[in-house]
Amino acid sequence: MDTNSVNIEAIVRQVLADMRSSEGASAKAPAAGVPNVAHVAMLTKLKNFEIKEYPMPPVGDDDILVKVEGCGVCGTDAHEYVRDPFGLIPVALGHEGTGEIVKMGKNVKLDSAGKPLAVGDKVVTCMIFQDNPAITTFDLNKQNVGAADVYGLLPDDDVHLNGWFADYMLIRKGSTVFNVSDLDLDSRILIEPSAVLIHAVERAKTTGILRFNSRVVVQGCGPIGLLCVAVLRTMGIENIVAVDGNQKRLEFAKRLGANATVNFNDFKGGIDDLTEGVKKAFGGYEADFAFQCTGSAVAHANVYHFIRRGGGLCELGFFVDGGPASINPHFDLCAKEITLVGSWVYTLRDYATTFDFLKRALGIGLPIKELITHKFPLSKMNEALETNLSQAGLKIAIINE
Ligand SMILES: [Zn+2]
């Protein structure tokens, strides 16, 4: 029964895709002539991007050639720029990118969610070249994509178009790709970081503690903490307190849905003083649930103090190894019976859920696109990375043309 309905669905999808691709040529403006060369911002040594020119590679039967429109700068790019911890140099970075299909192989019909694909569609990629069904099966939702590769963190090869800091990208067989033509460019650039929060909230929900009426602390108001506030508000949680040391970011957290903020610089009397500040922001109560969105060991140790007995915590700030943090297992975990979950990256299914989150967030008027504070052309890659490192803004993006 199930097998039959799946087969019929697949057949219908295929027929629709065939119809769409045969009318594609007339329905969509033809792709402007694809040039003979592509430009890639190649990190050739530490703190040095160079714009390299490469011949446009042939597009195989399973490949998709994308004209890149833009790509967000991630903390991981900054790590690579400064230290190259993954030893990838020379490397084409950029994994938060999006663009328009200008050419595709004859075998490409559907995206990873079963939506038809055609020249002119706007796309993003998720993980690539992975054959573990716990990761790649779209609806299984079993394992996060952390063990898979992504474009933008691949070693250089003879194709060279391996990252989104470029004017063209070649999506090859074995990659996940999503048709996101119904999202504007800024929203598409925010997909990858937003997916991290969709996953974190899914992890939080497994505790059974997070409810519509929960009092929720979000600690840390960088792009991830701010998106956390927006995701919680978009899903209907009203009572959110944001904690950070930067007043400008706290103000923005309010516009994204926090109804109170706590600036830790106002509390010089140690953790007990700060805890009183958080309680006061909740009208005299501790939090039911907390999201820890900083990479600071002190912040991790502090967050337990804000949570009530029987409450929950989602730790997602230690996205990379930030060293150990000290807690007191008796007071922080056992005596309070805290339910703790960790969260890292996302599953393939969370990625697609993120598209709907972005539409709903815009629908209820949250200014999420203002998270992108700086836009640079590809020729200013080094400047873009320096701006990211200076922490002058929130999300930095490279926008082509
Ligand atoms: Zn990233």
pLDDT for 122-147, tens place per residue? 999 998 877 788 877 777 677 888 77
Are residues 29 and 131 both part of a single domain?
Answer: yes
Contacts (Cβ under 8 Å, ≥6 apart) of 282: 215, 239, 241, 260
pLDDT at 15 over 60: no
- Determine the distance separating the centroid of ligand 1 and the alpha carbon of 95, expressed in angstroms: 6
The domain that contains 125 carries what CATH number?
Answer: 3.90.180.10
pLDDT for 131 equals: 75
Are residues 28 and 147 both part of a single domain?
Answer: yes
- Determine the distance separating the centroid of ligand 1 and the alpha carbon of 398, expressed in angstroms: 14
Compute the distance between CA of residue 164 and CA of residue 400 in angstroms, rounded to an integer.
11
Compute the distance between CA of residue 393 and CA of residue 333 in angstroms, rounded to an integer.
36
pLDDT at 338 over 70: yes
Are residues 154 and 204 both part of a single domain?
Answer: no
Are residues 183 and 37 both part of a single domain?
Answer: yes
The model's confidence at residue 12, banded by pLDDT at 50, 70 and 90, is: low
Tell me if 4 is assigned to some domain.
Answer: no
Are residues 124 and 223 both part of a single domain?
Answer: no
Domain range for 167 is 24-190+371-399
pLDDT for 10 equals: 56
Measure CA 128 to chain center. 16
- Determine the distance separating the centroid of ligand 1 and the alpha carbon of 119, expressed in angstroms: 27
Residue 174 contacts residue 108 (beta carbons within 8 Å) = no
Tell me if 355 is assigned to some domain.
Answer: no
- Determine the distance separating the centroid of ligand 1 and the alpha carbon of 367, expressed in angstroms: 21
Are residues 208 and 186 both part of a single domain?
Answer: no
The model's confidence at residue 31, banded by pLDDT at 50, 70 and 90, is: low
Distances (CA, A) of 70 to 224, 285, 338: 20, 44, 41
Tell me if 276 is assigned to some domain.
Answer: yes
- Determine the distance separating the centroid of ligand 1 and the alpha carbon of 279, expressed in angstroms: 33
- Determine the distance separating the centroid of ligand 1 and the alpha carbon of 96, expressed in angstroms: 6
Tell me if 109 is assigned to some domain.
Answer: yes
- Determine the distance separating the centroid of ligand 1 and the alpha carbon of 338, expressed in angstroms: 29
Tell me if 1 is assigned to some domain.
Answer: no
- Determine the distance separating the centroid of ligand 1 and the alpha carbon of 346, expressed in angstroms: 11
Task: Count structural domains, the chain.
Answer: 2
Residue 41 contacts residue 92 (beta carbons within 8 Å) = yes
- Determine the distance separating the centroid of ligand 1 and the alpha carbon of 358, expressed in angstroms: 17
- Determine the distance separating the centroid of ligand 1 and the alpha carbon of 81, expressed in angstroms: 14
Compute the distance between CA of residue 196 and CA of residue 174 in angstroms, rounded to an integer.
22
Are residues 30 and 134 both part of a single domain?
Answer: yes
pLDDT for 146 equals: 79
Tell me if 3 is assigned to some domain.
Answer: no
Q: Taking phi first (over 0 means left), then psi (-120 to 50 degrees means alpha), and beta for anything else, what does residue 317 get? A: alpha
Are residues 311 and 184 both part of a single domain?
Answer: no
The model's confidence at residue 6, banded by pLDDT at 50, 70 and 90, is: very low
Pairing of strands 96-104, 122-128: antiparallel
The model's confidence at residue 359, banded by pLDDT at 50, 70 and 90, is: very high
- Determine the distance separating the centroid of ligand 1 and the alpha carbon of 223, expressed in angstroms: 11
The domain that contains 296 carries what CATH number?
Answer: 3.40.50.720
pLDDT for 127 equals: 82
Among residues 293, 324, 342, which one ends one of the domains? Answer: 342
Tell me if 35 is assigned to some domain.
Answer: yes
Compute the distance between CA of residue 332 and CA of residue 300 in angstroms, rounded to an integer.
11
Tell me if 391 is assigned to some domain.
Answer: yes
For residue range 239-293, list pLDDT tens digits in order.
Answer: 999 999 999 999 999 999 999 999 999 999 999 999 999 999 999 999 999 999 9
Are residues 186 and 260 both part of a single domain?
Answer: no
pLDDT for 24 equals: 39
Pair of tokens at residue 254: 């309010």
Residue 291 contacts residue 311 (beta carbons within 8 Å) = no
Are residues 248 and 329 both part of a single domain?
Answer: yes
Are residues 212 and 170 both part of a single domain?
Answer: no
For residue range 153-199, list pLDDT tens digits in order.
Answer: 999 999 999 999 999 999 999 899 999 999 999 999 999 999 999 99
Are residues 174 and 198 both part of a single domain?
Answer: no
Compute the distance between CA of residue 387 and CA of residue 382 in angstroms, rounded to an integer.
9
Tell me the pLDDT of the chain averaged across its residues: 91
pLDDT for 7 equals: 55
- Determine the distance separating the centroid of ligand 1 and the alpha carbon of 388, expressed in angstroms: 13
- Determine the distance separating the centroid of ligand 1 and the alpha carbon of 59, expressed in angstroms: 27
Q: Does residue 30 have a cis bond before it (omega within 30 degrees)?
A: no
Residues 1-11 have a mean pLDDT of 48
Residue 29 contacts residue 138 (beta carbons within 8 Å) = no
